[in-house]
Chains A and B, each alone.
Chain A
Amino acid sequence: MFKEIELDALKEIGNIGAGNAATALSMLLSKRVEMRIPEVKVLPFDEVSRLVGGPENMVTGIFFRIEGELAFNILFIMQPADTLNLLKIMLRQEKTELDLTALEESALKEMGNIIASAFVAALADFTRLSLRVSVPCLAIDMAGAILSVPLSLYGYIGDTAFLLETEFEEGLDDIKVHFFLIPDDDNAFKVLLNTIGVRASDGNNSSGDGRI
């Protein structure tokens, strides 16, 4: 697993990306957006959905697959009320039900696209890695079902979930957008650490001293 200095470095990478993403969201909505300092979390697979209201809670998920020199997944999760509020800001239409039209789905996907791309652009710029962002995918369903996709991919090598997590918050209308970065494997984070000169410890060298 990762040492303290490596976790700090990952948080800082997350912070740079998320800062860029928050700025992009703020410009899109023309509203002030705040973000929490990203956290690296290691927790049981089942606990992840509790961060967004439990496995059966209905949420909106916007998913991106990132491929290239790193493989990972980005997932935005929003509660129904926040989804409707976002649509109100973007499309200037009142809506009370989550039966979305094609235009509304498209608006949410595009919002996701703008934030995810801002995050990945900052990451690529900072690390000099070549990364590709997939087209956005949207699902409105149980939180557990939506999270199961990226969590399972990490499950090939991990018995617990390992992710970078933060939240964007638009204060005026109290809209929260939850951000998850879930790697395919530990290697993605190791490559990240190597590119910025923090040596990632591996199983054979537990005494490897991380240095910047």
Chain B
Amino acid sequence: MEIIRVGMGEYKTAKAPALLVSFGLGSCVGVALYDGAKKIGGLAHIMLPDSSLTGKRDFNPGKFADTAIDYLIAELRDKGANTKKLVAKIAGGAQMFQLKSENSVMMIGKRNVEAVRKKLNQLNIDLIAEDVEGNYGRTIEFCCETGELTVKTIGHGIKIL
């Protein structure tokens, strides 16, 4: 079986029986989109909520919630997925360090989760399962055959969404 690694700020798509994997998500959020009829899946490893804060015109769209999901959907469409039938599962967005800062910079996990939910809502994509926030890291595996998102942790068990 093909295992495709999706690193920080990347998004990738695959067909069954491939597995899309992101290791060690902390404040980042993994967004899995899936066309169950065609068994085509995509995974984005999002680092930040909003591309408008970058101040650059030329940036990697995979980093931001508002841009990565658009690019992921476009790639799913190219692979033959029916983009009207996509469902979403998300995991991550932890707050690894409990630090009170003057501004919200340390709340990045929570802000990432909110930005992803908002974007999915705008695109009318159903968010059917999530395992988010908390204060621990997660490794996630999305199975394009079954549509299952497996979440592994250190000390907080394994969940299958």
Contact = CB atoms under 8 A, between A and B. Distances in A.
Interface residues of A, number: 35
B102 A142 contact: no
A80 to B, nearest CB: 11
B96 interface: yes
A14 B102 CA distance: 26
Interface stretch (B31-39, B46-54, B115-123, B142-150): B46-54
Interface of B: 7-9, 23-28, 47-48, 53-56, 59-60, 63, 94, 96-99, 101-102, 105-106, 108, 135-139, 154
Q: Which 3 pairs across A and B sit closest by C-beta, in order of nearness?
A: A144-B24, A145-B137, A145-B26
B137 A141 contact: yes
A67 B102 contact: yes
24 contacts: A45-B8, A54-B23, A56-B139, A65-B99, A67-B101, A139-B96, A141-B136, A142-B23, A142-B139, A142-B154, A143-B24, A144-B24, A144-B25, A144-B137, A145-B26, A146-B26, A148-B28, A149-B26, A151-B8, A155-B9, A157-B54, A157-B55, A159-B9, A159-B59
B26 to A, nearest CB: 3
A46 interface: yes
Contacts of A58: 154
